[in-house]
Amino acid sequence: MLRAVLYAVFLLGALPSLATDSRGHISVVLLGATGDLAKKYLWEGLFHLYLDQVSSGHSFTFHGAALTAHEPGQKLMFEVLKKLACPTHVSSDRCAVVKDQFLKLSQYHQLKTSENYTALNREIETLLRQEGLKEAGRIFYFSVPPFAYAEIARHINSSCRPPQGAWLRVVLEKPFGHDHKSAQQLAMELMTFFREEEMYRVDHYLGKQAVAHILPFRDQNRQFLDPIWNRHHVERVEIVLKETLDAKGRTSFYEQYGVIRDVLQNHLTEVLMYLTMELPANISSSEQVLQRKLQTFKSLQRLGSSNVVLGQYQAYASQVREELEKAQDYAVTTPTFAGVLIQLDSLRWEGVPFLLTSGKALDERVGYVRVLFKNQAYCVQRETLREAGRSPCEAKQIIFYIGHGELDHPAVLVSRNLFKPIMPAGSWKEVVDLPQLRLFGHPLSDYYVYSPVTERETYSVLISSIFHGRKDSFITTENLLASWEFWTPLLESLTQHIPRLYPGGLENQHLLDFEMVGRELAFTLEEPVELLHADGQMPGDYRTIQAKFRQSPLVSAWPEELIAQLASDMEVAAASAVARAGEFHVALSGGSSPVILFQRLAMHHYGFPWRHTHLWLVDERCVPLADPESNFGSLHKHLLHHVRVPYLNIHPMPVHLNRRLCVEEDRGPELYAKEIAALVTNASLDFVLLGLGYDGHTASLFPQSSSGLEGAELVVFTESPVKPHQRMSLSLPLINKARQVAVLVMGKGKHEITTQISRVGQEPRKWPISGVNPSSGQLVWYMDYEALLG
C-alpha cells in the first residue's frame, strides 16, 4: 500500500525524484499517536517539519503507533490528521497539496507485541528496498507514560534499529522520574538500550522562542552586559510561569508530582541556567553549554523549607478525592503553587535573589523572566523636567516575555535607559506600533521591544531541531540528574509541609504574595485563619523563663526565642570584650543547633564586631577541613561565608598535618594550644559555646575519656564512640578558664540527659558536662522547652 502511496505522491510532482539524488529516507514513528500531546501539538509539529523539508531532498514516512487495534486506531489518528493546519505564511493552495501528501505518507500501526515491532521494521526495510531508497535515519517519538518506556525501548533496540550508516533518534517526554533516585534508575535503564547521543529529552520550554533567545541575547550583547550582568548591578531576577487552568482531570498525574516537579525542577530551572551560567566561548557548541550548565548547578545553594512558600487551590482536594476515589478524610498536601528563593555561591551572583514562581488556578496565564537592575543613579534635575522613560533614575529591566499574558506574544524588552540591544535581524524585529500597555511598572514606550519575525509553535521548533540533530535544546542525562540532585533534598523536606489554601483566579487577591525576609521567603499576608496553640502545658507567651540549672543561670524558651537570646548575649559579650581588650575570642562547637545560631548571627546581628573577633574551634573531627563532616566546614558554610572575619582571625583545629589526619607525632593539639597561648591572654577565652550529647559528653570529651577531663593539657586527641571516631578537643581545664561558657541544648531527644544531669554532682568521668565549671567565669545554660520539659 505504501508503495502505491509513494507513487501517487511522485505523480503530483511535488517531490524530487527520490530514487536517484535522494539525501535519504527518514521514518518517523510517533508512539502514542492518538494521545493528548500528539493531538494537540506533535502531529502539527511533524506536519510543519514535512512542510519545511518537502523539497530538501529527503523523503519521509510517518508512522503513528499506539496499543489500539488497527481499525479503530487508524480512524482516531486520521481524524486528527485531517484537522492539521499550516502556519499563516503558507498559501492555502500549497497547504492543501502538501497536506494531501502528508496524509498519504502517514500510516497507523498497532505496536503492542514484539511481532508488531518486527513487522514495522520489515515494512520500513521493504519500502526502502522497493523504492531503491537509502536510509538516512529513524525518529521514535515517545509520547507515552514513563512506565511504558523500558518495554518500548527494548523492542526498538532489539528489532527497530536502522542499519549501519543511518541514525536513530529517540525522543522522550517528561516526567523523567520524580526524584533523583527514580530519575537515575530510568536513565540507567534507557542507557542500556540507547546511546546518549541517540536520546532527545524534551523540555518544551527550551523550544519557546524567548527562552531559546536568552543565550544568544547574552552572547550578542556581551559589550553591554559584561559590566552589569552580576551581583553589583542585578537587584533580583524573577522567573515566572502562571497558569489559570487547574489540575482537574489530571489529578492522578498531578498528585504524584505537584508544581515543583511539574514546572520548577525542569522548565524554570533550565531558564535559571541560561540566565546564570558563565557564557561559553561558543554558545552553539552543545558540549560547551552543557559543561557551563553543570558548573552552575554546582554553585546553587542548597534549598531548605524556609526558602519556599507553597499553596494549593481550594478545589484541588475535592478533585483529587473524586478522581482518585478517595475517602473524605484523605489528606491532600500536594502544592499547586510555589515560590522559591534560589541563591548562588558564585562571585558573579552571590547574594542576588532568583525568585522562581509557578502555580495553577492563578489570575492570569503568563510566562516571563524579569531581570531588575539596581538603581544606582541619583538625578539632581527635578522629576518633571526629566524625559520620561529615558532617565537613569528610572527602573532598568530586561524582560524575556515567554508568552500569553497582556502582551500575548513572545518578546524581548530592554528599558531604554539601559541600552539598545543587538538583535538578529532575520529572526527578531523591533516592534514599532506598541499597544497602550504598562508592563512591570512602565508604559511599553519606555522599552525597546522586539518580537520574533515569525512566531513558531514550540513543538515545531523542537521537532525541527531533532531532525537536524541539534542537541542543545534537549536535556542530557547529566543535566537531568544535576537538576534532580538540586531539588530532591527540598522535596524530601517538604513532605510534611501544609500548603496555604487559595480560592483560585482573581479571588486570590494578595493571598499568595510573598516576600524575602533575609535569606528566607514568607507570605506577605498572615493566613486568614486562627492558628491554635493546642497544647496548654507549655508556656504560651514568648517571655523566656529565667531560673537556675545546676546552680547556674538557665535561659529557657521556644527554640527561636532561645537562639535570639543567645545570639544577643553573644553580641553583648563580644562588644564588651572588644571595648576592654580590642578583641573577642570565641570558641564554637559543631552540630546542628549552632547552625541555627550562626544563621541568626549572620542575618540579624549587623553590629557584631566580626572584624575584631577571633574564631576558635571547641572540637573537630579527624576529617579534612573541607569535608561535610568537619565542624570547620559547617562553620565556614553557615557563618564565615556570610560575615567579614579577617582571615588571620580564623583558627581551624590542625587535624590535617603532613598530609595525614590526627597522628600523634604530628602534635596537632600542641600546635593549637601554642596558638591559643600566643594570642589569648592567660588562655582565657572570652566565650565558649558548648553542646550536650545524649551520653553527657560536651565538646569532644566523652565519658571515661583518657584525656582532657583533667590535667594540664589545653588541647587533646579523644576517641568518640560514634564515627568519625578520632577527634580533637579543647580540654575541660581550658574551657574552665573561659570568661563565659554557654551550653546550648535543644530538642525533645535531649530531655532524658538533661533530667539526669540536673541531679548529679561533679562527675566528669561519667558525665563530662558536669565538669564544666568556670573557675572565675560565668556558665549559662540555654535550653529550649522540649529539652527542659520534654
Q: Contact positions toward ligand NAG, by CB under 6 A?
A: 70, 110, 112-113, 115-116, 119, 154, 157-158, 192-193, 282, 284-285, 681-682
Q: Which of 48, 213, 267, 656 is catalytic?
A: 267
Euclidean distance between CA atoms 215 and 650, whole angstroms: 41
Smallest separation (angstroms) from ligand NAG to the CB of 286: 7
- Cell 532617565, residue? 391
Euclidean distance between CA atoms 724 and 720, whole angstroms: 7
In this complex, which beta carbon is closest to ligand NAG, that of residue 190 or of residue 414? 190
Element of type H or E holding 432? none
Three cell numbers at 582? 580590642
Spatial contact of 698 and 734, defined as CB atoms under 8 Å apart:
no
Smallest separation (angstroms) from ligand NAG to the CB of 380: 46
CA nearest 432: which of 405, 411, 456, 417?
411
Three cell numbers at 451? 518580537
In this structure, the chain runs to a length of: 790
In this complex, which beta carbon is closest to ligand NAG, that of residue 195 or of residue 543? 195
For 425, the 3-state DSSP assignment is: coil
Q: What is the CA radius of gyration of the chain?
A: 33
Smallest separation (angstroms) from ligand NAG to the CB of 582: 12
Q: Which residues contact 377 (CB under 8 A, 6 or more apart)?
A: 392, 393
In this complex, which beta carbon is closest to ligand NAG, that of residue 496 or of residue 682? 682
137 Cα distance to chain centroid: 36
Smallest separation (angstroms) from ligand NAG to the CB of 287: 7
Spatial contact of 114 and 72, defined as CB atoms under 8 Å apart:
no
In this complex, which beta carbon is closest to ligand NAG, that of residue 116 or of residue 244? 116
Is 25 a catalytic site residue? Answer: no
306 residue type, one letter: S
Spatial contact of 683 and 648, defined as CB atoms under 8 Å apart:
no
Spatial contact of 715 and 652, defined as CB atoms under 8 Å apart:
no
In this complex, which beta carbon is closest to ligand NAG, that of residue 77 or of residue 745? 77
Three cell numbers at 344? 548562588
Q: Which residues contact 644 (CB under 8 A, 6 or more apart)?
A: 610, 611
- Cell 539632581, residue? 380
For 685, the 3-state DSSP assignment is: coil
In this complex, which beta carbon is closest to ligand NAG, that of residue 192 or of residue 509? 192
CA nearest 116: which of 29, 56, 51, 41?
29
Q: Which residues contact 353 (CB under 8 A, 6 or more apart)?
A: 236, 237, 341, 342, 343, 516
- Phi, psi (5° rounding) for residue 246? -110, -165
CA nearest 708: which of 693, 695, 718, 697?
718
In this complex, which beta carbon is closest to ligand NAG, that of residue 112 or of residue 605? 112
Smallest separation (angstroms) from ligand NAG to the CB of 78: 16
- Phi, psi (5° rounding) for residue 362? -100, -175
Smallest separation (angstroms) from ligand NAG to the CB of 553: 22
Element of type H or E holding 743? strand 740-745
Smallest separation (angstroms) from ligand NAG to the CB of 285: 4
In degrees, to the nearest 5, what angle opens at C-alpha 244 toward C-alphas 240 and 247?
105
Euclidean distance between CA atoms 159 and 165, whole angstroms: 17
In this complex, which beta carbon is closest to ligand NAG, that of residue 476 or of residue 700? 476
In this complex, which beta carbon is closest to ligand NAG, that of residue 119 or of residue 645? 119
For 15, the 3-state DSSP assignment is: coil
Enumerate the active-site residues. Answer: 267
